[in-house]
Amino acid sequence: MTRDSESSTPEDEVLTDGGETAAEGADEVALDPWGSSTVSDYRKLFEEFGIEEFDEVLPEVPNPHYLMRRGVIFGHRDYRPVAEAMREDDPWAVLSGFMPTGDPHIGHKLVFDEIIWHQQQGGDAYGLIADLEAHSARGLTWGEIDEHARDYILSLLALGFDAEKGELYRQSDNRELQDLAFELGIEANYSELQAIYGFDGETDVSHMQSVVTQMADILYPQLDEPKPTVIPVGPDQDPHIRLARDLATRMRFFKVSKAYASFEADDAERELIAAAYAALTDEAGNGDVRCEDAADWLREHQPEPSSARESAVKKLAAAGKEPVRPRIRFFDRKATDEAFEALIEAVEGEKRVYEGHIDSFELDRQDAEALAREVELDNGGYGFIQPSSIYHRFMTGLTGGKMSSSVPASHISLLDDPEDGYDKVKSATTGGRETAEKQRELGGEADQCPVYELYAYLLAGDDDDIAKEVYDECVGGERLCGGCKEQAAELMQEFLEDHQEKREEAEELLADLDIDFDSLR
């Protein structure tokens, strides 16, 4: 499915919001978790931040959610381990959180749905109230936080979260989480937070502490056992994901990598040495390659100067007649002496032990990773797996521009009176033409229509045919905005009525939850 606004669209494809075009006036790509909630060009997220397109992993996902099928979930980081665990019925988890700064609205419903769907697919599900962040970064009182927290949890339960199988918590009440945050804080520093988030001398310490707490949230599902974990978020939260992945790696006892000689090489150097080894092995036919031979080969066959080539040649030449042999290296990152000794004992077959690393000549990379994690866990480490993430598009506000909790007309709260929800949709901006005649002649611009987004993101539910029908009729000139908004307004009213009935039913579940909505702070 293409979502490039300049590409042609096959008739059988369901489009959402026009893909690469966000609301008018949207920000350039600057991912700020506490600032803007718009992105002007989603393509730049792939180019600048390394987010991968979700379409590429979609065929590997069993029974994908409609938000995935329609491209509302547009990107991911490392989702394949989660999809594989889903298919293989291995342990995995999903977690996301909510900062209770206002009423839950239809934009938040995207994340609610993503958590619930993953739980229904067999994942251990976690939902959290980011109350420490709300207090430190947004200045909400604890009374305000208590009220909003209750509303978020009620809507999550009403939409289908199974509290008996999942876990709900507040940051401020979870001591295990806070202990983990303390440990993670040892691996982070002010300069790093300044570079990632733009913190400066005016940033208060509690705000910085809330970042480390969020890192602990992201890794919290792995406290009992390491497992693939997905964090559904908007793209503005990607800085948190990147830092959490880095901290998960820094907390590991051992780094496992490929190597070719006793010296250390970075990725670029290793790639060049691997090429030299492969070429010389083909020539010799017996795999008897010396480091100095590899250095000569690189000088001859990699004449273009580069820092990686120069450093690889220098290291190889210094190693002289040492054999070049592929191996797996266990590098001591922060292991205890006992853990390092245990790893030496656990590595079977031919190996070499050095002061800071162990080389195995018989293990493959996958088995080595599993062994390193096993030894780490046996010796009191966490063994974290880097968390994965999926990213959904932002909903356009009903009045155009971005959807904002502080602009009531721009969003529909899940607590709105159903008739008010009806009226807001009827008053919404559309992607229609100036007149009915032009609409019939040119077709509407569904890709730029907040009302069409309501169908694609929420009102069509799991029925792709409805979303496709609305889109095709709009761009084909058969559907006029008045009738389209009337249908959407009626569906919205029905949704709110149903949701609020289920919220009332969910009230009975609150007493059984291990979560306090009356803070003592």
d(CA 470, CA 314): 64
Q: Is residue 478 part of a domain?
A: yes
d(CA 326, CA 362): 9
* pLDDT value, residue 39: 53
**Rg of the chain over CA atoms, in angstroms?**
27
Please state, for a pLDDT cut of 70, what percent of the chain lies above it.
Answer: 90
Top pLDDT among 138 and 176 is at 176
Here the tokens at position 260 are: 């070719």
Quickly state the pLDDT bin for 389 (edges 50, 70, 90).
very high
Quickly state the pLDDT bin for 404 (edges 50, 70, 90).
confident
Do 178 and 118 sit in the same domain of this protein? yes
pTM of the model: 0.86
Q: Is residue 29 part of a domain?
A: no
* pLDDT value, residue 406: 66
Nearest CA-CA partner of 197 in 238, 229, 141, 136: 238
Do 293 and 344 sit in the same domain of this protein? yes
Q: Is residue 135 part of a domain?
A: yes
Do 220 and 281 sit in the same domain of this protein? no
pLDDT tens digits, one per residue of 84-97: 999 999 999 999 99
Stretch 240-249: mean pLDDT, rounded?
96
Query: For all residues of the chain together, what is the average pLDDT?
Result: 88
Q: Which domain holds residue 458?
A: 408-510
Do 192 and 289 sit in the same domain of this protein? no
d(CA 196, CA 32): 9
Stretch 296-307: mean pLDDT, rounded?
89
Quickly state the pLDDT bin for 41 (edges 50, 70, 90).
low
CB 243 within 8 A of CB 31: no
d(CA 15, CA 28): 23
* pLDDT value, residue 360: 97
Do 92 and 226 sit in the same domain of this protein? yes
* pLDDT value, residue 271: 95
Q: Is residue 283 part of a domain?
A: yes
Cβ neighbours for 96, distance < 8 A, ≥ 6 positions apart: 111, 114, 115, 126, 127, 128, 231, 232, 233
Q: How many CB atoms lie within 10 A of CB 6?
A: 8
Quickly state the pLDDT bin for 491 (edges 50, 70, 90).
very high
Q: Is the pLDDT of residue 21 over 50?
A: no
As a three-state string, the secondary structure of 163-219 is CCCCEEEEHHHCHHHHHHHHHHHCCCCHHHHHHHHCCCCCCCHHHHHHHHHHHHHHH
Do 275 and 423 sit in the same domain of this protein? no
Q: Is the pLDDT of residue 488 over 50?
A: yes
Q: Is the pLDDT of residue 3 over 50?
A: no
* pLDDT value, residue 148: 93
d(CA 418, CA 400): 21
Structure-token match 């009226």, residue found: 423
Tell me how many domains the chain contains: 3
Do 231 and 331 sit in the same domain of this protein? no
Please state, for a pLDDT cut of 90, what percent of the chain lies above it.
Answer: 71
Report which residue type is found at 153. Answer: I
d(CA 406, CA 409): 9
Quickly state the pLDDT bin for 499 (edges 50, 70, 90).
very high
Here the tokens at position 354 are: 């050095």
CA 33-37-38 angle, 5° bins: 130
Top pLDDT among 430 and 351 is at 351
